[in-house]
Amino acid sequence: MNAAQHINPEKLLSVLFYSPNATAVYQGENLKILTANKAMLDFWGKDRSVVGKNFIDALPELINQPFIDILKEVWNSGKTFTAKDTSAILKVDGVLQEFFFDFEYKAILDNEGKTEYILHTAFEVSERIAAWKVVDEKSRAEQELTEELRAINEEYQATNEDLLSKNENLLILEVNLQNAIEVLHEKEQRFRRMIEHSPVAMASLKGKSFIVDALNDKMLDIWGKAKSVLGLPLRDALPELETQSFLGVLDEVYETHVPFKGKEIKVMISVNKVLTERYLNFVYHPVFELGSQEKLILIVANDVTEEVLARKEVTDINSRLEVALEAGYLGYGEIDLTTSKMIMTDQFKLNHGFKLEEEISYAKFLNTILPDYREKFQQIIKNSIINNDIYKTEYPITLKDGNLRWLEVHGKPRYDNDGNANRVVAMVSDITERKLFDQRREDFLSVASHELKTPITILKASLQYLDRIKDRPFGDKHAQMIEQSLKYVDRMTDMVNDLLNVKRLSEGQLQIEKRWFNLSEMLQETCNHIRLDGKYNLKIGGDESINVFADENRIDQVVINFVNNAVKYAPSSTNIYIYFEKIEENIKVSVTDYGDGIQENLLPNLFGRYYRASHSGKDYSGLGLGLYICAEIIKAHKGQIGVDSKVGEGSTFWFIIPLEKLDS
């Protein structure tokens, strides 16, 4: 059974239309032309008006040629027909002309084994036939001359034996021989002129040393050489071939008399002393030199470098596109508007929560979109079809596990030859993280404005009050207002420092100044503000001999942030434990509290920028930047950062940095 029967017919016709090879598709006993691409129309000398006509009506010049009968036989039998070097008389530009083709009539069978379509592919080989005709003409001329010379030689020998009695005949034979030599010389000259003026690259190599006997400018262009190579052995004319396979192939052709055909063969040619990569289609064909038994190798070549490199470039582009699609989690889908069927990549299915083996219809795809967005999506598609325009939109979906995911889709409709929209293509990417980031940023701006506005308002009120009582004797109210003002100035300073640190991180300007210091000594001196408050006990434990090479101030900043979070989010845990230990070639520092703990679903986001989670249903002041800054500091030390927490049991924030000295 032919695999093509599973391909959507309309899609197949669309694909074939863009094929670079001459292609046409026929149907029915009358051989109706369903489609023909530009290459095939050019061969026929017709335009697209022949599409939809019966084959005999579209190309009446083929009535007395075998092709119509062959097509009917293929249709009735279901057997594919292939032919090479076949002559066809076609009417091109109003003139009947002879062309030669390699072609195939391929029967495409349906599920019942009957012919559903005939796929016609063709390749013009007129130039190849012309070249072979030249070779055959030379061979025939050579044979004729060889036979003529042999007859002359026989006659000459007979005459020589009777020289004394047939002197007059000898003179006549000498004249005839001279005439034959002149004819031979003329034919050799014609052969050389044929090579020199050939529309394709040609050269002849004489003898076992492959002396360059004749060649044209097109062959010189391929070789990148001048006419000075004439008379040189090929090894001397093209020394760069010594390390390539071509000389060995020539030896084999010379010995076996079997021609060699190469297709898109890579050759390195020295052009102006620079090795240049080229790709050639060529033929090595052995012939006998005119008038002798010494063999010639006739070379006919065509430079296809541009075509091969262009194809490789397309392949490379497609490969890079595939890599980009995979790296960006981009999915491709296509909707058939006539059947409501869809084809899609695996990533498209994964983005929408489908299993890879599922068959997805347009209706099933729409049901993944939340109802509030589904009608909007359909309207956008309709508008895109009406306006023949690119569409772009976003929509949320709910996965089978209940999680919400945001997707971004863009694409464009496609139309058939009659201008009717028959399909819509779509590129889908998962933008859930971006949406979450945008939401966090909006939340951050709201929080930041509030957090900064509150201390400014209080500070302003305190200063206004102090201004009213500035002339009174200094009292408790003055001290209270000054203490309150300093407290909120410190809070604003901390928030401004966080914002400045985030800006430096974004610009890659966070400075890390490493030096050797004793970790235990640093931890004993940290968080004095907590100790002075007297509400919490800091318990520090670990190997007091550990020295690290790091930025002491930045490491202290991380520890202080961990302790402040413990105080803020676990107020009931009066004991806060700081523990440090050596793990292989690393040092691990942990800060543990025994408060309410953090919900598991919140843990992956704690170190994200602008993330500000509520604990136990409570909201706390702050910009949500502290842990993000800590993560970037540890990242700059080539370390790791994390948190372990269980609701009702408490939390442990930790980081790991290398003990070894790093390049500064």
Tokens representing 372?
Answer: 């509030």
**Strands across the sheet containing 331-336:** 342-344, 331-336, 421-430, 404-415, 391-398
CA angle 175, 179, 184 (to 5 degrees): 145
Confidence band for 142, pLDDT divided at 50, 70 and 90: confident
Confidence band for 79, pLDDT divided at 50, 70 and 90: very high
Residue 507 confidence (pLDDT): 47
Which amino acid makes up residue 372? D
Measured CA to CA, the distance from residue 562 to residue 350 in angstroms comes to: 38
- Which segments within 172-215 are labelled E, that is strand? 201-206, 211-215
Measured CA to CA, the distance from residue 349 to residue 347 in angstroms comes to: 5
DSSP string computed for 388-432? T--EEEEEEEE-TTS-EEEEEEEEEEEE-TTS-EEEEEEEEEE-H
Residue 623 confidence (pLDDT): 46
> Partners of 486 in the beta sheet?
none
Mean pLDDT for the chain overall = 79
Provide mean pLDDT across the span 454-468: 62
Measured CA to CA, the distance from residue 257 to residue 210 in angstroms comes to: 14
User: Which H or E run includes 323?
Assistant: helix 305-327
The contacts of residue 409 (CB under 8 Å, 6+ apart) are 377, 391, 392, 393, 394, 395, 426, 427, 428, 429
| This prediction's pTM | 0.33
Burial class (CB in 10 A: 0-12, 13-18, 19+), 492: middle
CA angle 173, 177, 183 (to 5 degrees): 145
Q: Is the pLDDT of residue 511 over 90?
A: no
Provide the greatest CA pair distance for the chain.
Answer: 163
Tell me how long the chain is: 664
Which amino acid makes up residue 393? T
Q: Is the pLDDT of residue 32 over 90?
A: yes
Which range in 142-151, 297-306, 460-469, 616-625 is most confidently predicted, on average pLDDT? 297-306
Specify whether the CB–CB gap between 628 and 565 falls below 8 A: no
Which phi-psi region, left, alpha or beta, contains residue 78 (left: φ > 0; alpha: ψ -120 to 50)?
left
Provide mean pLDDT across the span 458-481: 65
Q: Who wins on pLDDT, 13 or 466?
A: 466
The secondary structure of 101-152, three-state, reads EEEEEEEEECCCCCEEEEEEEEEECHHHHHHHHHHHHHHHHHHHHHHHHHHH
> Partners of 24 in the beta sheet?
36, 120
Specify whether the CB–CB gap between 429 and 331 falls below 8 A: yes
Residue found by looking up tokens 């070894």 in the block: 660
Residue 252 confidence (pLDDT): 92
Specify whether the CB–CB gap between 644 and 652 falls below 8 A: yes
Cα atoms in the Cβ-side hemisphere of radius 13 Å centred on 391: 25
**pLDDT tens profile 639-661:** 999 999 888 888 999 999 998 65
Which range in 502-506, 614-618, 643-647 is most confidently predicted, on average pLDDT? 643-647
Which of 268, 262, 266 has its CA nearest to residue 299?
A: 262
Least confident window among 98-102, 174-178, 407-411, 516-520 = 174-178
Which amino acid makes up residue 608? G
Q: Is the pLDDT of residue 163 over 70?
A: no
Measured CA to CA, the distance from residue 519 to residue 536 in angstroms comes to: 22
Percent helix, strand and coil across the chain, each rounded to 5?
45, 30, 25
Q: Is the pLDDT of residue 276 over 50?
A: yes
Measured CA to CA, the distance from residue 445 to residue 613 in angstroms comes to: 15
Residue 664 confidence (pLDDT): 43
Q: Is the pLDDT of residue 622 over 50?
A: no
Provide mean pLDDT across the span 411-437: 84
Confidence band for 2, pLDDT divided at 50, 70 and 90: very low
Specify whether the CB–CB gap between 216 and 197 falls below 8 A: yes
Percent of all residues in the chain with a pLDDT value above 90, rounded to a whole number:
20
Which amino acid makes up residue 624? G
CA 275 to chain centre: 29
Q: Who wins on pLDDT, 570 or 286?
A: 286
Burial track 242-264 (b if 16+ CB lie within 10 A, e otherwise): eeeebeeebeebbeeeeebebee
For residue 618, the 8-state DSSP code is B
